[in-house]
Each structure stands twice: as C-alpha cells, then as structure tokens.
Amino acid sequence: MSRIHPTAIIDPGASLDADVEVGPCAVIGADTVIGAGTSIGPHALVGPHVRLGRNNQIHGHAAVGGAPQDLTWRGETTWLELGDGNVVREFAQLNRGTLKGDGWTRVGNNNLFMSACHVAHDCRIGDHVIMANNALIAGHVVIEDRAILNGAAAVQQFATIGRHSYVGGLTRVVHDVPPFMVVEGHPSKVRKVNTVGLQRVGFSPGQIEAIRNAYRVIFRTARPRDEVLAELEQSPWVTAEVAYLIAFLRRTGESSAGRALQA
C-alpha cells in the first residue's frame, strides 16, 4: 500500500526515500530530499531546496523551507537543512537561508518546534532544542544544544542562545543568553542557574555547584565584568562548564550590541 496520499503534490525533482509517508494535500517542492522514516502531515509544505534527514515528523500545515522573509532576497537558490528525529508541529515555519549568510538555515537533531513557532533565515540550531508554542527567532540567530525557549519568547537577530539555557515565556531577548542560565523579562535578564534543566540531563551536583558559584561571582556583583572574569579564570574550581561560560561572556562582551555575532 502506498504511503503517499493521492492528493499530495510532489515535484518531479524531489527525492523521497521509499519509507517516507506523505499525507493528504501536502506539497513537496523541487530539489528536496527526504530521508527514511520521515512523515509529512496533511497540508504541510516542504521545500523547495530542503534537506530532511531520517525520522523527522512534519505535522499538518507546517511550512518547512519557505522563502526567507528578508527584503534583500531576490529569488536566489538557498537552502534549509534538518538532521534526524526533529518534530515540527502544526503551523510552525522554518525558512531557508540568504546569501547574507552562507545560503543555509541549519537545524540539528532531535529538536522540537511546537505549534506556530518561527525559525527565520540563516539560523543555526543545535540538538535537543525545544521551542514552545509561538516562540519566534529572527534571522542569523544561533541556538546551542539543549536550550529551551518557552511560549511566545522572541529573539532579536544575531543573538546567541547558550547551551542548556532556559528562556522564560513572553521574554524579549535582545542580547546573547549565557549558557546554563534562566533568563526572563522584557527585556531579558539573567535570573538564576537552570538547575532543574541541568539535573534532568545528568549534570552532577559538583558540576551544578560550580556553575552556581560562577553565577554568584559574575551576576551578583556591580564590579566590571572583565575584572570579574579575569579573577574567576584563576579560581581553582573552574570546571569545563565554567570555562565555557567565561569564554561565552567574553565573546558577548566584545560586541557593543551584546550579541557576539553582531560586532
């Protein structure tokens, strides 16, 4: 029995593995490749110029690979890439890249994009990221592994969301979000360490305590940030996680905009 519904529209230039399922009225564009085990829901749009790996779930009415929403785009061929095991829920939208980037929007593995969230052109998303309903990220945003954006959070272009961070619902993100931290507010502020999230993925009590110590030293003082980071680097309890946090904050501090990707 065919796994492609007769009402689906598939461009002759698309390449689908034999194990792909396509629902009613779905549309798959030209030069699109879809890997084994992937399902495309009813009325979903995939492509053109999309690369989907294995075991992805594209739910009904999602738009994966739409044209970039950028006024400088003039119809150039650009791309969207998703790895394996991603879930894109109803009405979510992921756009292709632009030539202002490298032409690609890239998404890793095992991410969850809940209903009506938006990934703009030229974004880079790692693995095990969760974007809750109506979360929005603008162009050229980077989201590192296991970050969570809660419902209706909005991220300004060129911002970086650090790994294992947690962005509260309705939060307006205009600066980089440090790894391992919880940020909330309008605009966002660092509130505390993402202790619950770190515990859930297996961080040891010692690792978490080192991050907490760094948080108190960095974010609970009025002293100049560079001075604090320099002292912290010499501390005997600097773990790999704390070293990464320091390096992340140094990169952010080099930009007057508070976004390391936008010097």
Catalytic residue set: 121-122, 139
Instruction: Please enumerate, as own/partner, the contacts of 40-49 that have beta carbons within 8 Å and a separation of 24 or more.
Output: 40/8, 41/90, 42/5, 47/11, 47/14, 48/11, 49/77, 49/78, 49/79, 49/80, 49/96
Total number of residues shown for the chain = 263
Residue 206: Cβ-neighbour burial (10 angstroms; 0-12, 13-18, 19+): exposed
User: Other CB atoms closer than 10 Å to residue 234's CB: what's the count?
Assistant: 7
Q: Do β-strands 188-193 and 181-185 pair in parallel, antiparallel, or remain unpaired?
A: antiparallel
The token duo for 132 is 């809750």
State how far the alpha carbon of 84 is from the alpha carbons of 56, 109, 126, in Å. Answer: 6, 5, 12
| Cross-strand partners of 181 | 193
